[in-house]
Amino acid sequence: MNVVMILTAVISFAVTALAGKLLIPALRRLHFGQSIREDGPTWHKQKQGTPTMGGIMFIVGSIAAVVIGYCVLWLTNGGLTDPLEQMQLFGGLIMALLFGLIGFLDDYIKVVKKRNLGLTAWQKIVGQVLVTALYLAALYIAGDRSTIINVPFLGQWDLGFFYYPILGILIIGIVNSVNLTDGIDGLCGSVTFIVAVFFMVVSTIAGQYGMKLLSTALAAACIGFLIYNLHPAKVFMGDTGSLFLGGMVVALGFGMNMEFILFFAGFIYCCESLSVILQVISFQTTGKRIFRMSPIHHHFELGGMSENKIVVLFSGVTLIMCVIGVFAFV
């Protein structure tokens, strides 16, 4: 099993890193450059035109690694025999891919059609609701009929009728929170790498090899991407990448039946979303802003903290919360 995981990690990293060598020059030739927000930090203007849609790199790397890793696992150990575990693995991967497709359409409209806002908010929501519904329906058909959730430190709760609506809101919320975390060089990839390692640890403890395979592929793909994305970034992941990463994080949490552990492992994602929500509420009700700018990583940036320091700080907080999450799981 360890050999399979090492092979999965090597393939994911190598394919992602190699894809970067090929994709980044192609994106430049196609003029698929990032447009920078007018109301953002002024020094971000120098990033104008940096190739975007780089998330394609780790999408290809993750999928290749999971498929090859599973084939080797099947040849050596018979693969995953439980239909639900198979659906949690491949259904989760397909869900992430579909979220990435929504992000790709958004990026494509921005850079090719020159429509700066991309898809409309309603188009994004409808697409995300459909993907979420398909994923939850697939899990139900595969045998996930329980309406009980595990809440860290609080035990098990039976949500009954409210199970699917609550989990649907959670999925869409987490996916979009990961999307908001992609705002400065290396941040989303670094945080998600630590989250993936967290799920590698807990899936090993639980003996859930499908989720160990998925988390291993994700962690290695993040490292392969960070080669090009750390400050100063040579490529941005775009919504293509951030929505795919959000889908992968959700797939791991739900595949481990640890949906609400995402509030620990994904603490930074939640803070990013909460900062936007609080900023909007405060400005609309009082006319004043709580933060210099939201999401919250821009608040620190405008306060004088460098992008690299913010990445280290947010990654450190994620690591601490993931350690707490391990104790919550055990």
- pLDDT tens-digit map of 82-114: 889 999 999 999 999 999 999 999 999 988 776
d(CA 256, CA 196): 12
Q: Is the pTM of this model over 0.85?
A: yes
Identify any residues that bridge with 148 across adjacent strands, giving them in sequence order: 158
Question: 165 is written with which tokens?
Answer: 């609506």
- 86: buried, middle or exposed (CB in 10 Å: 19+, 13-18, 0-12)? middle
pLDDT 10s digit of each residue in the chain, 330 long?
689 999 999 999 999 999 999 999 999 988 786 666 555 565 555 677 799 999 999 999 999 999 999 999 888 877 787 889 999 999 999 999 999 999 999 999 988 776 666 788 899 999 999 999 999 999 999 998 889 988 887 888 899 989 999 999 999 999 999 999 998 999 999 999 999 999 999 999 999 999 999 999 999 999 999 999 999 999 999 999 999 999 999 999 999 989 999 999 999 999 999 999 999 999 999 999 999 999 999 999 999 999 999 999 999 999 999 999 998 876
The string of pLDDT tens digits covering residues 2-19 is 899 999 999 999 999 999
How far CA 59 is from CA of 93, 101, 105, 134, 253, in Å, comes to 10, 10, 15, 20, 19
Asked if residue 246 lies in contact with residue 175, where contact means CB atoms within 8 angstroms, the answer is yes
Signed CA dihedral, 188, 189, 194, 197: sign only: positive
pLDDT in tens, 112-123: 776 666 788 899
Residue appearing with tokens 């990032």: 34
Sign of the torsion angle spanned by Cα atoms 50, 52, 58, 60: negative
* 256-288 pLDDT, tens digit each: 989 999 999 999 999 999 999 999 999 999 999
Cα separation, 134 vs 127, whole angstroms: 11
Q: What was the pLDDT predicted at 170? A: 97
What stretches of 238-321 adopt beta strand conformation (E)?
Answer: none
Burial of 21 (0-12, 13-18, 19+ CB in 10 A): exposed
- Tell me the residue type at 188: C
